[in-house]
Amino acid sequence: MGLFERFLTVWVALGIAAGVVLGLVFPGLFQAVAALEFAQVNLVVAVFIWVMIYPMMIQIDWHAVRDVGKKPQGLLLTLVVNWLIKPFTMAALGVLFFQHLFAPWVDPQSASQYIAGMILLGVAPCTAMVFVWSQLVKGDANYTLVQVSINDLVMVVAFAPIAAFLLGVTDVTVPWETLVLSTVLYVVLPLAAGMATRHLLQQRSTQAIADFTARLKPWSIVGLIATVVLLFGFQAGTIVEQPGVIGLIAIPLVLQTYGIFFISWWGARWLKLPHEVAGPACLIGTSNFFELAVAVAISLFGLNSGAALATVVGVLVEVPVMLSLVAMVNAWKPKAVAGVIR
């Protein structure tokens, strides 16, 4: 592991601090960058995420992708956790904390808004960042691509009905522009670029692919840190003005993330999944498609609503928590029997 990878947690912590400080010192600059968006997708953040996942796309071997169907257990785990467990545990935790445990400190109207934002996060499993987490745990790039692709297809038909059921409303409008644009920016374009790059490098040698991706690795980490700086810079004012509320919202979100991870990890052990499949499968369900959740929260409840704030807090806690889960997956990599979780 290189310098960037060995001390990734330190760089992310510095990125969080830098983002908050810069967001307070140069609020106008971050407001201008935040305004560079289309369909609730910030184009600058999209570029940095693209930089993060492009190296992994180069590693995808399409001959191996065709064999993924022979190992359906990992796909089954992803679908069960993301669509039959995660949305409902998120809703249950929201009700438990904001209607009961935190009731003395939060008024009922705000509590219902925070619960709604948490639900929208729970119904929006991650797309882009999964490729980053998979790369950090040495996951199977081919399998991860199929997991994400199938997840996106299910999201198209399942997001609105499940969100409407849990929110108790019947008119949830899916922002299709956000969903489609995010899929194109975070999956289709980097995948096409990765395929083209891999084809050109293969004409030289197999080693050329490994050498090229090794040179790109530091840039992938730089993309992650830059994304962290921007996300925390965008919300610097909110972090300083409402630290107590953010802390209250963060508690059930963090518990949900760790809880879903351990449910997924137990499922992976039970299914005896290879480590390179189990790692990404467990991390897909624990991270969120925050662009979609934020967009729906704003459209349903308003820009300054508690629901929108809850989805933003989801963004803020995700990277540090996910890095801790990446560390767990790497620490638990089996040694005695290679490739099988014990």
- Judged against a pLDDT cut of 90, whether residue 97 lies above it is answered with yes
Mean pLDDT (whole number) for 59-84: 79
Closest CA to 87 of 157, 158, 2: 158
- Judged against a pLDDT cut of 90, whether residue 118 lies above it is answered with yes
d(CA 97, CA 120): 16
Mean pLDDT (whole number) for 161-180: 72
Query: In this structure, is the dihedral angle defined by the CA atoms of residues 247, 251, 252 and 255, taken in order, positive or negative?
Result: positive
Mean pLDDT (whole number) for 187-210: 83
Closest CA to 45 of 55, 53, 37, 54: 37
pLDDT at 7 (0 to 100): 65
Domains of the chain plus CATH, in order, are: 3-331 (1.20.1530.20)
Give the tokens for residue 27.
Answer: 């609020």
Mean pLDDT (whole number) for 294-305: 72
Return the DSSP state at 304. T
Closest CA to 151 of 190, 186, 117, 119: 186
Mean pLDDT (whole number) for 84-106: 92
Contacts of 227 (CB under 8 A, 6+ apart): 45, 48, 49, 52
d(CA 178, CA 201): 33
